[in-house]
Amino acid sequence: MSAHRITPVPAVARPRPWPPAAFWKALGSHIVIPLFLAAGMALAYLGAFHAAHPDNIPVGIVGQGPATDVFAQTLNDKAPAALDVSTVATVATAKAKVADGTLSAAYATDRTHATIIVSTAASPAEASAAEELFLPIAYQQHLPVTIDDVRPVPADDMTGQGLFFMMVAMSVGGYSSAIAIAAVAGRLGIGWRVAVSAATAVAVSAITTVVAGPLFHVLSGNEWSIGLLGALYTFGIITIGVGLHPMLGRWTTPVLTLLFVMLNVTTSGGIFPQNMQPPFFAGLSTFWTGAAWLDAARALTYLPGQQFGFDGLRLALWATAGLALIGISHLLTVRRRRAADDTVEATAEEEATAAVAA
Q: Do 143 and 278 fall within a single domain?
A: no
In terms of domains, do 179 and 240 share one? yes
Quick one: residue 111, left, alpha or beta (phi over 0 = left, psi -120 to 50 = alpha)? alpha
202 and 90: one domain? no
pLDDT at 281: 93
At 88 the three-state DSSP class reads strand
Q: Which residue has the higher pLDDT, 331 or 220?
A: 331
For residue 261, the model assigns a pLDDT of 94
Cα four-point dihedral sign 56, 62, 65, 68: negative
Count of helices and strands (H, E) across the chain: 12, 5
116, 149, 182 — which closes off a domain? 149
- 91 and 195 housed in the same domain: no
**Chosen domain end from 149, 183, 211:** 149
Give the whole-angstrom CA distance, residue 294 versus residue 122.
11
Exposed, middle or buried, 16 (CB in 10 Å: 0-12/13-18/19+)?
A: exposed
Does 125 reside within a domain?
Answer: yes
Closest CA to 60 of 116, 135, 125, 129: 116
Q: Which domain holds residue 193?
A: 162-338
Quick one: pLDDT at residue 347?
A: 65
Residue 344 is predicted with a pLDDT of 64
pLDDT digits (tens, 9 = 90+) for 174-206: 999 999 998 887 777 889 999 999 999 999 999
Instruction: Give me Rg for the CA atoms of the chain.
Output: 30
269 and 322 assigned to the same domain? yes
With CA atoms as reference, report the closest residue to 233 among 158, 308, 125, 327: 308
Instruction: List Cα–Cα distances, 97 to 11, 85, 217, 258, 270, in angstroms.
Output: 86, 13, 27, 36, 21
Q: Does residue 17 belong to any structural domain of this protein? A: no
Q: How many domains does the chain have?
A: 2
What average pLDDT is seen over the chain?
86
Q: Is residue 349 domain-resident? A: no
Average pLDDT estimate for 265-286: 90
Task: Examine the pLDDT at 358 and tell me if it is beyond 70.
Answer: no
The pLDDT value given to residue 9: 57
pLDDT tens digits for range 198-237? 999 999 999 999 999 999 988 877 899 999 999 999 999 9
Kindly state whether residues 189 and 124 are assigned to the same domain.
Answer: no
**256 in a structural domain:** yes
pLDDT in the model for residue 148: 93
Q: Please tell me the pTM assigned to this model.
A: 0.84
Query: 110 with 175, same domain?
Result: no
Q: Are residues 334 and 187 in the same domain?
A: yes
271 lies in the same domain as 330? yes
User: What does each C-alpha distance from 11 to 8, 14, 17 come to in angstroms?
Assistant: 9, 9, 17
Listed residues 121, 149, 177: the one ending a domain: 149
| Rounded Cα gap, residues 239 and 197, in angstroms | 6
| Domain co-membership, 248 together with 273 | yes
Distance CA 106, CA 52 (A): 21
Q: Is the pLDDT of residue 13 over 70?
A: no
Mapping DSSP to helix (H, G, I), strand (E, B) and coil, where does residue 26 land? Answer: helix
* Residue 166 belongs to some domain of the structure: yes
What kind and span of H or E run contains 61? Answer: strand 57-62
- Range from 7-21, 84-98, 127-141 carrying the lowest mean pLDDT: 7-21
Q: What pLDDT, on a 0 to 100 scale, did the predictor assign at position 14?
A: 63
Domain assignment of residue 32, yes or no? no
Mean pLDDT of 14-28: 74
Strand partners, 109: 114
Is 172 in the same domain as 145?
A: no
DSSP 311: H
The mean per-residue pLDDT over the stretch 248-259 comes to 92
Q: What is the pLDDT of residues 100-137, one digit of tens each?
A: 888 989 999 988 899 999 998 888 888 888 888 889 88
Kindly tell me if the per-residue pLDDT of 171 is higher than 80.
Answer: yes
